[in-house]
Amino acid sequence: MYPINGRVILHVDMNSFYASVEVAYDPSLKGKPLAIAGNPEERRGIIVTCSYEARALGVKATMPLWEAKRLCPNLIIKTPNFDRYRKASLEMFEYLRTYTDLVQPVSIDEGYMDISDCYNLGTPYEIAQKIQKELQDNLKLPSSIGIAPNKFLAKMASDMKKPLGITILRKRDVEKVLWPLPVAEMHGVGTKTAEKLKPIHITTIGDLANANEIQIKAILGINGERLKQRANGIDERVVDPDAIFEFKSIGNSTTLPEDTTDEEILYGVLRRLADSVSRRLKRKESLARTIQIVIRYYDRKTITRSKKLENPVVEAKDVYEVALQLWKKHWNEEPVRLIGITTMDLIEKKDAFKQLDLFSYEEDAKKEPLFNTIEKLQSKFGKDVIKKGITAKTEESKTKGTSFNKDFLQSREDS
C-alpha cells in the first residue's frame, strides 16, 4: 500500500462546506434543504452553496435565489458568515496536521496531504477512514477523500463519491476509469477549454491523453502539454505546505442592483472596487503589474480585458486609472450587470522596483531624502522600525463584492 519510490497523496474535500458549518453550528438545520446565499432582498442574491437535501430538489451553486425558491419553496436561506467558516477551516487543517506536516491547503475547504511516511498509522484507506470519521464526529463536518499517487489523481478521486466518499485511484486505473469521462469533467479543463478542444475532436479525457502534443500546444499553449500529461495520470507536483501563501491575484467584483448604462454609477463602482483592491494589496504588502477588468452585460455576456504595466502599482488612484482606460476602450455602451477589477502578476513590496522615466523621475527625486532617512533608520534598528506610509489592519467589507483570494489563512485578529 506504500510504494517504495512513490508517494501516497490524499485530497480532502469538505462536502458543501458553508452549509455543513451552519448545520454544525445549528443542528436543527440537519436534514433540511439549506442554502447559503447573498442578500435575499436584492437581485444580486445567488446561491453560494447548498446542502445535499437542497441539491436533490434541483438547487445548485450560482443559481439565482428566486429560481432556487421556485424549485424549493421551503428552502432555508442563510447569509454567509465568513468568520465562522474561517474558524472551521482553520480547525480542519489543524486536525489534518496531526497526521503529517505535509498539508497543503488549496482553498478554504480542501487540501492535499502527503502521507507517504505514515505507514505506522495504518493503510492509506484506514487513515482516510479515520480522518473522515473524526472530522464528522469532532467538527460535525462531512468530507470526501481521494487516495492516489499524485495530486491530480487524488483530486479526481475525491470528486467521484460525494458526500462522504473515499476513492482510491491508481495510475493503472486511469485508462479504464478516467479516459471515458467527458474532458470538461477533468480537473484543470472546464467548459471553456473543452469548447476550444471540440474542433479537433477531443471530447473525452482519453482523447486528450492520446492527442497530438503539437496540436494541443498550438491551441492551449504550454498548459496544453501539462493537461495531456495529467490525462495520462502524470503529475510531478509535490505537496507544498507553503504554496498557499504564493498568491497570484487579488480582485473584487460586484453585481449591480439593476442593469445600467449610467456612467456616473459605473465610474463610482469602478472607484469603490479600486479602493477595495488597493486596500487588500497594501494588506498583503504587494504591488500589481497587471490590471484586469470584468464586464458582464445584461444578457450575461462577459468579457475580461487586461493591461500589463511598466511600473507596478498599489494606490487606488493608479488602479482606478488603468481600469478606467480599459473600461473606456472596451465597454460597448450596453447595460451592465456586473463589474470586476483584478490585480495580477503580483510582486511583494520588498522585491518591487520602479523603472524611473521622464515623468516619474522628478517626483521620485523629491522623495529621495526621505527614502535615505528611512533606509538609515532601518539599517540601524531593523527593516520594520519604519515604513513609508502606514500598514494598517483594516477590516474589509463582508458584504460588497466577491473575493476568492486565500485570506482564510490570515489569523482571526488580522481579518
Q: Is the pLDDT of residue 369 over 90?
A: no
CATH code for the domain of 25: 3.40.1170.60
Residues 169 and 120 occupy one common structural domain: yes
Asked if 338 and 43 touch (Cβ cutoff 8 Å), the reply is no
pLDDT of residue 375: 53
Amino acid symbol at 11: H
Residues 71 and 99 occupy one common structural domain: no
**Does the annotation flag 13 for ligand binding?**
yes
Looking at 173, 194, 221, the residue that finishes a domain is 173
CATH code for the domain of 314: 3.30.1490.100
- Whether cis (ω within 30° of 0) applies to the bond prior to 27 is no
Residues 318 and 403 occupy one common structural domain: yes
Residues 289 and 400 occupy one common structural domain: yes
Nearest Cα residue to 89 out of 243, 238, 244: 244
Residues 100 and 214 occupy one common structural domain: no
Render pLDDT for 171-222 as a digit per residue (tens, 0 to 9).
999 999 999 999 999 999 988 899 999 999 999 999 999 999 899 988 988 8
Residues 383 and 337 occupy one common structural domain: yes
H helices within 97-247, ranges in order?
A: 124-139, 151-158, 190-197, 205-209, 213-220, 222-231
pLDDT of residue 397: 39
| DSSP code per residue over 337-371 | EEEEEEEEEEEEGGG------TTTHHHHHHHHHHH
How much is the pTM?
0.65
Residues 256 and 132 occupy one common structural domain: no
φ/ψ (deg, to 5) at 112: -105, 150
- 2 is a domain residue: no
- 49 is a domain residue: yes
pLDDT of residue 246: 62
Q: Is the pLDDT of residue 3 over 90?
A: no
Residues 145 and 190 occupy one common structural domain: no
Number of folded domains that form the chain: 4
**Does the annotation flag 101 for ligand binding?**
no
Asked if 294 and 331 touch (Cβ cutoff 8 Å), the reply is no
> Beta-carbon neighbour count of residue 53 at 10 Å?
19
Residues 118 and 152 occupy one common structural domain: yes
> Could you tell me how far CA 358 lies from the centroid of its own chain?
39
Percent of the chain with pLDDT over 90: 62
Asked if 71 and 57 touch (Cβ cutoff 8 Å), the reply is yes
Residues 62 and 152 occupy one common structural domain: no
φ/ψ (deg, to 5) at 271: -65, -45
Average pLDDT in the chain: 84
Structural domain range at position 221: 180-231
Looking at 80, 95, 129, the residue that finishes a domain is 80
State mean pLDDT over 327-352. Answer: 87
* 341 conformational bin, left if phi > 0, alpha if psi -120 to 50, beta if neither: beta
- 4 is a domain residue: no
The cell for 130 is: 479515520
Report, as residue numbers or ranges, the catalytic residues. 110
Asked if 221 and 210 touch (Cβ cutoff 8 Å), the reply is no
* 60 conformational bin, left if phi > 0, alpha if psi -120 to 50, beta if neither: beta
Percent of the chain with pLDDT over 70: 82
